[in-house]
Amino acid sequence: MELPLAHASQIPLIAYLLVGSVLFVTGITCMIAKRNLIGILIGIELILNAGTVNLVAMSSPFVAGSGLPALDGQVFALFVILLAAAEAAAALAIALTYYGGYATIDVDHGDRLNG
């Protein structure tokens, strides 16, 4: 099957992977540096998006050097988006309970359980 745009993109896979790794490191930094629960959640979303970027680039037929079968990564990415939404919903509900107990969403105040 001849794809009309198959040779349109000259951006190599490594460029996409670099974007993914920057997102990943930003997410990890965000998670460690932020004390606010919402901030940490944003960091987690960034990490998930890093994985998504990798997957989509790796299985795109338009990216030179991609290794995964076409559509595998794209479908995986859709599932990751779904999971991220479910996780965020659960985490926000939990944040609300936490706020009910502590009147703040700063995670440093949660030190009743010392571990």
What residues make contact with other proteins under the rule CB under 8 A?
1, 17, 20, 24, 27, 31, 37, 40-41, 43-44, 47-48, 50-51, 54-55, 58, 61, 67-73, 75-76, 79-80, 83, 86-87, 90-91, 93-95, 97-98, 100-102, 107, 110, 112-115
CA angle 16, 44, 58 (to 5 degrees): 25
Between helices 72-102 and 37-58, what is the axis angle to 10°? 180
Whether the Cβ atoms of residue 56 and residue 73 lie closer than 8 Å to each other? yes
Whether the Cβ atoms of residue 56 and residue 77 lie closer than 8 Å to each other? yes
Closest distance to other proteins from the beta carbon of 43 (Å): 8
Closest distance to other proteins from the beta carbon of 90 (Å): 5
| Choice between 4 and 67, CB closer to other proteins | 67
